[in-house]
């Protein structure tokens, strides 16, 4: 397939682009700077501009663009930036698709587990309702923008959970602390985080490119875990303690409402669509995932 990836320089984008090329696909990437190779195409999503040659002959488009959710405090201007960076990029892509004589057959446009807000211990399948918080409203509008793609384009909006990787990503700031033995749970630790390893994220995106699913798809592992379990397993795999709990009031003092929506919210997501479609995880259990994060294969 010829696949165009927006947001190819991020954690998921870098791994996905590499995996797709290794699988024999022709991968083009969108860049804001002048292109450095024939596989790169320039765009300016904030201005709605894109080199139309990027999408010419494309079989699929993968949209991973957007400013980092947890990179900076949520001031009013930062929240506006989070929205505009996602909606602008998505609409630039759907508008460009409409200009093509033959639009791509598939549009995978990233969404997030934040769609569900803080749902406590309730099991969340894809038909669960959206919350009304900042992240939830962002995800609702982000998904709606993806569905502005031309008629006939199969649109998939993966609601991705917490991506476990060996460096960077959602745990990028916590992993060094865990490796030193000075990490631990956040808040009371009973909130569920819908986790998934980076290799399984890339595998799931590849699966969604060729499987006739459409609409929202929960991207997480089939084994649910609360933060207490998650931190304990990761620390155990690293042969370190996980004793230093960070109380919720401290998190709120440092991070404001970002703490409530990103760290303390509970989302017990179930990947119902992926399970039914027959997707096979490489690391389906938390023990297997923690071993991989620690740098060894499960059972080694």
**Dist. CA 278–CA 248, nearest whole Å:** 38
Q: What is the pLDDT of residues 116-125, one digit of tens each?
A: 999 999 999 9
Q: Rounded to two decimals, what is the model's pTM?
A: 0.93
Q: What is the pLDDT of residues 120-160, one digit of tens each?
A: 999 999 999 999 999 999 999 999 999 999 999 999 999 99
For 150, the token pair is 């031309």
For 39, the token pair is 């596989």
Q: What is the pLDDT of residues 176-220, one digit of tens each?
A: 777 777 677 888 889 999 999 999 999 999 999 999 999 999 999
Please list, residue by residue across 95-111, b when 16 or more beta carbons sit within 10 angstroms of its beta carbon and e when fewer do.
ebbeeeeebbebbbbbb
What lies within 8 Å, CB to CB, of 80 at 6+ separation is none
Place of tokens 């997030």: 112
Phi, psi (degrees; rounded to nearest 5) at 153:
-85, 125
């Amino acid at each position: 397939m010829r696949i165009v990836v927006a947001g190819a320089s991020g954690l998921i984008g870098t791994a996905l682009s590499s995996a797709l090329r290794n699988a024999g696909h022709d991968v083009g990437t969108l860049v804001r700077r002048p292109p450095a190779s024939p596989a790169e195409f320039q765009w300016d999503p904030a201005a709605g501009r894109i080199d139309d040659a990027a999408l010419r002959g494309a079989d699929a488009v993968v949209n991973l663009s957007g400013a980092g959710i947890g990179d900076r405090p949520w001031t009013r201007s930062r929240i506006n930036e989070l929205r505009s960076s996602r909606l602008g990029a998505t609409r630039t892509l759907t508008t460009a698709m409409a200009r093509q004589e033959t639009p791509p057959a598939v549009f995978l446009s990233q969404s997030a587990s934040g769609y569900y807000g803080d749902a406590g211990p309730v099991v969340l399948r894809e038909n669960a309702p959206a919350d009304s918080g900042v992240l939830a409203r962002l995800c609702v509008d982000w998904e709606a923008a993806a569905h502005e793609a031309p008629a006939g384009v199969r649109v998939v909006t993966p609601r991705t959970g917490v991506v476990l990787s060996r460096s960077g990503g959602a745990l990028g700031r916590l992993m060094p602390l865990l490796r030193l033995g000075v990490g631990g749970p956040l808040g009371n630790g009973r909130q569920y985080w819908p986790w998934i390893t980076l290799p399984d994220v890339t595998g799931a995106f590849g699966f969604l490119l060729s499987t006739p699913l459409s609409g929202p798809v929960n991207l997480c592992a089939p084994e649910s875990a609360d933060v207490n379990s998650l931190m304990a397993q990761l620390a155990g795999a690293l042969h370190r303690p996980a004793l230093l709990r960070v109380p919720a009031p401290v998190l709120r003092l440092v991070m404001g409402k970002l703490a409530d929506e990103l760290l303390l919210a509970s989302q017990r997501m179930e990947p119902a669509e992926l399970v039914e479609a027959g997707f096979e995880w490489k690391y389906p259990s938390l023990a297997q995932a923690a071993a991989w994060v620690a740098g060894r294969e499960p059972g080694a």
